A and B are shown apart, each in its own frame.
Chain A
Amino acid sequence: MPERHWRTPLDAEKAVRPKAEIHIIKDQCKGCGFCIQYCPKKVLEESDEINARGVHPPRVVDEKECIICSFCTAVCPDFAIFVKEKQCKDGC
């Protein structure tokens, strides 16, 4: 439909987005960059740090964007990344 949709939908705030908790086990990362490459929401990027294996592990750009598809976990050959849904304590 050619109408222009420029407004923020009225129910945008009500939309429940999963809240992710991304865990990166830095020293286990071998720097292949698969997680960065395949994350559909571009949540990860290469960090400047150097880990125990002498490579740059990934770092989280914006955790809010993560939709917990866990694809990073699936593609990581060395099990260096996993994602959990945040358990809301204080009504987050």
Chain B
Amino acid sequence: MEMAKQEIRIGVYVCHCGLNIAGSVDCEEVAKFAASLPNVVLAKDYRYTCSDQGQELIKKDIRENRLNRVVVASCTPRLHEPTFRKVCEEAGLNKYLFEMANIREQCSWVHLHDREAATEKAKDLVKMAVAKAALLAPAEEIEVPIIRKALVIGGGVAGIQVALDLADTGYKVYLVEKQPSIGGMMARIDKTFPTMDCSICILAPKMSDVGHHPNIELLANSEVIDVKGYIGNFHVKVLKKPRYVKEDCTACGDCSKVCPITAPNEFDAGLALRHAIYTPFAQAVPSTYIIDMNLCLNKDEIMVCDKCIKACERQAIDFTMKPETVELEVGTIIVATGTDVFDPSTLPNYGYGKYLNVITSLEFERLINAGGPSGGRLIRPSDMKIPKRVAFIQCVGSRSNKSGRTYCSNVCCMNTIKDSLLIKEHWPETEIYVFYVDIRAYGKGFEDLYKRAKNERAIFIRGLPAEIIEDPKTRNLWLIGENTLLKEPYKLNFDLVILSVGLEPRKDSEIIQRLLTLSRTQDGFFMEAHPKLRPVDAATGGIFFAGCAEAPKDIKDSVTQASAAAARAGILMAKGKVTVEAITPVLDVEKCKACGLCTKVCPYNAITLNKELKRVEIVEAACGGCGTCAAECPSDALTQSHFTDEQIMAQIDAVTEHDAEKKIVAFCCNWCAYAGADFAGVSRMQYPPNVRIIRTMCSGRVAPKFVERAFARGAAAVLVAGCHPGDCHYINANYQTQKRVERLWRKMEQNGLDKERLQLLWVTAAEGERFASKIREMQKLIEKVTMEEIELAKRVFAKAGGA
């Protein structure tokens, strides 16, 4: 509070960002306007404020003009807030005395064609930032130690690489794999493009390294069921399902031979049988056999069959094993859960699931693999004969609006090229046709492989078959389509058709998403913190991605990303400590009435009621920083640092100072809604310029009095936007948002106000269009709001809003 007495000296910097901002905002004018605001001692516009020269300029001004607050109007704080905070620190100013106005993602980029309105909006945004800046207070961050252990979820090639890299660096790694063995997709494919190495030959040594590494603890047949905590300090619960075979198992396979139960082996895409006691494949790690209890005759502890027990000389089989919950403490988590493949039976015109000789590319991999069900002979399932005419169909389930998978799966083109060469290698006489739309051979060595396939006379026809018709006698297949280059129809007959199925997000990604509070893109893959600059970081601190979990990619990219993720996690753990943003609540002991309401809403149980002292206590390290407690406290006893009531009220007041009746005041949570609005900007989605966004960490921070204040000051409409229920970055704090908004709606209705003027929006960081269309919709709404309605709202909320 000492600062308050001191004279406030704010410096404002309006960035042109080349033409990114200056193209649609008159930066000079904004700077001139800023200079006229209270407490502002200097305002400048600058071409690239984030450049070295720009940073030097700020530092110089701080020193020479004794600035004690800095406001930069430029891009989103999600990008450069850390940069400018560092600049302030270097010039001796506490970094919490810095504030940003987002005039790029949320202004110039979304109002490309309305320079005047964009400039006006930029002025407002600067005014809001200046108003908040005047009330900023310095703060010290607390440091938390980072546990020097990592958890890797998923044991595909990406997970394996992360685990090995981190373990070799010297960190303890827990590798959790859902399946009985690690290896993932790569263990199932035969050769790998572009070099045509044998997949399992290069993967198996890595797998066994994982098995033997002293720093790696492999938890196969296990799943993560609970994650608590925060960066550096995660408490994880893993459910380790029983194998019913002890580690004494030598993998001799005697048990399998006697087991009377068989079922399709998932590893072989169902093309071969396995027994109830089995190992999915010869090179499996761990090699210990496993009993599939869904199949075994011994259920509900009734021992019907003991054949395997008798057969096992090592006496390794143990039906008394129970599921175990393992508790882990780790500092970083790497998500490497990979992808599923598309199920083409949802495309009836291709007849998959009905026509025996229509197979998927994954089935092909098993068929051509020497260790596979046909011993490496490519046979067609209907008569086990070697096909003479083979067709590949590309983009099955990818790049399609209808299947909901609009992205390119990245690997299927090259995979087909690889497959066609494999066929040619073994059976050079085979006629191969590839039906494609575009061939994507973009990587190192890819084009050469493509040329080789063409040289080997694989025939590429542009145009996908519309339909496959099976000849009931021969089981041959007719492909009917259009050659779109020649503009000619084709009807061709084949012995075997291979559908190049796409990759899709894991069906159960939602579980991991919820446990780790991650975001996913519209495609359903996990979303990185920044697509270019932080491609392996999750938005949640301490969590990283590797491999196909983040987007479809080939092995090389998966491994590259894995090593990158290992490095990122390693950096954190090497430092051994991390600072937590100083945005925890501060209690005013005088005001606290010990009502305990805050303790009920805190998602982290970071506040407890001390009945003896008749007040609550805050555990700062446990606090996530959502601020929902501060919104809940009826006595104003809790203040969230850096997002105080006064600061937010000042922002609201700045917005509503003039033309309030034409404006929408929007409260957006940092992680989803604010990021979604940024995404709309990055994608240049245009929407009406009347909205002013106030950032809070969580929508749960939005106290009803903020909304009331906005209406009391004559705002046309208010938007509260947060993450979808269940996706909340602060576990479930947004449920409080919902409750509070519903209460406000009731109040509005009771007072004869149109409740449509207060909107609640759930939006993910990837749903820019959803945000933009909401604003378009609200624009229509506010055009209809009359002056009487504005006045009525002012009266209704006058008292509560304290305007």
Contact = CB atoms under 8 A, between A and B. Distances in A.
Interface in B294-323: 297, 299, 302, 304-305, 307
Given A9-B272, A10-B381, 20 more contacts: A2-B507, A3-B269, A4-B345, A5-B266, A6-B270, A6-B345, A7-B270, A9-B270, A9-B273, A10-B271, A10-B272, A10-B373, A18-B260, A38-B304, A40-B304, A67-B261, A67-B305, A69-B304, A69-B305, A69-B307
Contacts of B273: 9, 11-12, 15
Contacts of A6: 270, 345, 353
Nearest to B257: A16
26 contacts: A2-B340, A2-B343, A3-B269, A3-B360, A4-B343, A4-B345, A5-B264, A5-B266, A5-B269, A6-B345, A7-B381, A9-B272, A9-B273, A9-B373, A10-B373, A10-B381, A10-B384, A11-B273, A15-B273, A17-B260, A18-B260, A40-B299, A41-B297, A69-B297, A69-B307, A71-B304
A15 B307 CA distance: 17
B797 to A, nearest CB: 52
B390 interface: no
Contacts of A9: 264-265, 268, 270-273, 373
Contacts of A11: 272-273, 373
B272 A67 contact: no
Interface residues of B, number: 33
Nearest 10 CB-CB pairings of A with B: A5-B270, A67-B260, A40-B297, A71-B304, A69-B305, A5-B264, A9-B273, A1-B266, A10-B373, A40-B304
A60 interface: no
Contact of B260 (A3, A7, A38, A69): A69
A7 B297 contact: no
B384 A3 contact: no
Contacts of B507: 2
Interface in B186-220: none
B353 A4 contact: yes
A12 B374 CA distance: 12
B614 to A, nearest CB: 55
Contacts of A10: 271-272, 373-374, 379, 381, 384
Interface string B240-268: 00000000000000000000111011101
A88 B204 CA distance: 42
Give the residue among B269, B345, B353, B362 with the most A Cβ atoms within 10 A.
B269
Contacts, number: 73
A77 B265 CA distance: 38
Interface string A1-41: 11111110111100101100000000000000000001011
A68 interface: yes
Interface of B: 179, 260-262, 264-266, 268-273, 297, 299, 302, 304-305, 307, 340-341, 343, 345, 353, 356, 360, 362, 373-374, 379, 381, 384, 507
A70 to B, nearest CB: 9
A5 B274 CA distance: 13
Nearest to B372: A10
Nearest to B275: A15
Interface of A: 1-7, 9-12, 15, 17-18, 38, 40-41, 67-69, 71
A4 B270 CA distance: 8
Contacts of B379: 10
B499 to A, nearest CB: 12
A42 to B, nearest CB: 12
B304 A7 contact: no
Contacts of A7: 264, 270-271, 356, 381
A8 to B, nearest CB: 8
Contacts of B262: 12, 15
A76 B71 CA distance: 87
Main secondary structure of the interface of B (DSSP, over half): loop
Contacts of A12: 262, 273
A15 B265 CA distance: 13
A17 B262 CA distance: 9
A83 to B, nearest CB: 12
B154 to A, nearest CB: 13
Contact of A71 (B271, B305, B340, B353): B305
B276 to A, nearest CB: 11
A88 B460 CA distance: 54
A4 B341 CA distance: 10
A84 B507 CA distance: 46
Contacts of A68: 260
A40 B297 CA distance: 6
B498 to A, nearest CB: 15
Given A17-B260, A69-B305, A3 B343 contact: yes
A75 B175 CA distance: 44
A39 to B, nearest CB: 8
A5 B269 CA distance: 7
A17 B272 CA distance: 15
Contacts of A40: 297, 299, 304-305
Contacts of A69: 260, 297, 304-305, 307
Contacts of B374: 10
Contacts of A17: 260
Contacts of B384: 10
A8 B374 CA distance: 14
A40 B305 CA distance: 9
A7 B264 CA distance: 9
Nearest to B501: A3
A69 B507 CA distance: 38
Contacts of A38: 302, 304
A11 B362 CA distance: 18
Contacts of B268: 9
Nearest to B379: A10
Contacts of B341: 3
A12 B274 CA distance: 10
A67 B305 CA distance: 10
Contacts of A18: 260
Contacts of B353: 4, 6
Nearest to A40: B297
A86 to B, nearest CB: 14
Contacts of A5: 264, 266, 269-270
Contacts of B345: 4, 6
A2 B302 CA distance: 30
A3 B297 CA distance: 25
A36 B379 CA distance: 43
A18 B258 CA distance: 9
Contacts of B302: 38
